[in-house]
A = this chain, B = another copy of it.
Amino acid sequence: MIIVMQPDAGDAEIAAVEAKIRAHGLDVHISRGTERTLIGAVGDERKLDPEMFDPLPGVERSMHILKPYKLVAREWHKASTVVDVRGARIGAAAVQVIAGPCSVETVPQMEAAAAGVAAAGARLMRGGAFKPRTSPYAFQGKGIEGLTMLKDAASRHGLPIVTELMDVRMLDTFLEHKVDVIQIGTRNMQNFDLLKEVGKVDVPVILKRGMSATIGEWLMAAEYVAAGGNHRIMLCERGIRTFETAYRNVLDVTAIAVLKKETHLPVIVDPSHAGGKAWMVPALSCAAVAAGADALLIEVHPCPTEAWCDADQALAIDEFASLMAKLDAVAAAVGRSVDRGVAANEPLAA
């Protein structure tokens, strides 16, 4: 950490900063420049925080030199993490596609969805049983019944499931229903109690980026999960909020490149929530794979116009199948492939 002193800071003020650094067990290194004196804290600066120094007399500002995350940082763990979900490996050379409807609605809908996405080549299935809805009057999901419907349909077609956990009290139920991947949604990215609990279980976690979370905050949220002992974490970019109103959120492709450099965790992209319109999904999916995404999370519905939520952003099954063909080509162009699995469409063992 570096503390920049004000131009008129005196010796007593510098000594006070120095004493505070030493009190935390770090060493001090002072550099007197022509316009400012800088004080460096030498040692594990994660024990310090700018707010400890900024209010001291004579301090102009202070700043960390190191990134605050450790377990999730590539600096400390060079090899890329590969998360294995019942044989579907995310973060390895092959790109994975996770597909399914926004929300679990009915048994026939789920059967059609599972059959369709499996046939088109997806290796995991998504579906929401508990839905975070902006309005208390909107459909809130089928709940536990929906979990069963999702698990049943997906299993028949050999697909592990991904579904969102909103309420920490529901975690045991998720474990009982053998949810294969727990999704933490964008609105809960900094629900720290929820992060701590999923950090304690042995189930892979997809951590969606908060709507206006910086990459640093997102990685610190992942650090919460890792600090609990669960290292099977995947990060999912799903669009960030900006001033633009022509579409819902801007898909942050730059974040893909930054994440691949900063962290060893796999990077998933959700092109459906980003743009918010089905017609944008192919372009955004291709862009994500071209930029280096390890997996895609795509909304697919057997009959989009009848979907109970987010009807506007789901692909129909034939549209999804065409997209898969395109993704094969784009993945190949960047030296990867789309994993279509050998076991796909075979029932999963219970």
- A252 cross-chain contacts in B, Cβ below 8 A: 244, 250
Q: Mark A254-297, 1 if CB is under 8 A from B, else 0.
A: 11111001100000000000110111100110111111100000
Closest to A34 in B: B43
A257 CB contact (under 8 Å) in B134, B136, B284, B312 = B284
Residues of A135-181 at the interface with B, using a CB-CB cut-off of 8 Å, are 135-138, 140, 166-169
Find out whether the CB atom of A191 lies under 8 angstroms from the CB atom of B192: no
Say yes or no: is A50 at the interface (Cβ < 8 Å to chain B): yes
Our pick among B52, B215, B280, B287 for the contact of A246 (Cβ within 8 Å) is: B215
Which residue in B33, B135, B262, B274 is a CB contact (below 8 Å) of A223?
A: B135
List the number of copies, as a whole number: 4
Stretch at the interface among A84-92, A93-101, A115-123, A326-334: A326-334
Give Cα distance in the complex from A241 to B252, angstroms: 12
Contact B224 A136 (CB under 8 A): yes
In the assembled complex, the Cα of A218 lies from the Cα of B193 at a distance in Å of 22
Inter-subunit contact B192/A166 (CB<8 Å): yes
Name, among A66, A134, A278, A292, the residue most crowded by chain B CB atoms within 10 Å (CB to CB): A134
Provide the residues of chain B in CB contact with A243, threshold 8 Å: 212, 214, 240-243
- The verdict on A66 contacting B333 (CB below 8 Å), with A46-B137, A304-B55 known, is no
Is the C-beta of A318 less than 8 angstroms from some C-beta in chain B? no
Whether the Cβ atoms of B332 and A66 lie closer than 8 Å is no
Residue A311 at the B interface, CB < 8 A? yes
B290–A52 touching, CB < 8 Å: no
* Cβ–Cβ contact A34 & B44, under 8 A: yes
Asked whether A251 is an interface residue with its Cβ less than 8 Å from the other chain, the reply is: yes
Q: What is the bound-complex CA distance between A52 and B75, given in angstroms?
A: 24
Contact assessment for B245 and A242 in the assembled complex, using a CB-CB cutoff below 8 Å: no
Residues of A within 8 A of B (CB): 2, 4, 7, 29, 31, 33-36, 38, 40, 42-44, 46, 49-52, 54-56, 63, 65-66, 68, 75, 132-138, 140, 166-169, 187-188, 190-193, 195-196, 211-212, 214-217, 220, 223-224, 227, 239-247, 250-258, 261-262, 274-275, 277-280, 283-284, 286-292, 304-305, 309-313, 326, 329-330, 332-334
Contact sample, A vs B, 30 pairs, CB 8 Å cutoff: A4-B65, A31-B31, A33-B65, A34-B43, A36-B66, A38-B65, A51-B309, A51-B313, A68-B134, A135-B220, A136-B196, A136-B220, A136-B223, A140-B192, A169-B193, A188-B191, A212-B212, A212-B243, A215-B244, A240-B250, A242-B242, A246-B262, A250-B250, A250-B253, A283-B291, A287-B287, A287-B290, A326-B333, A329-B332, A333-B333
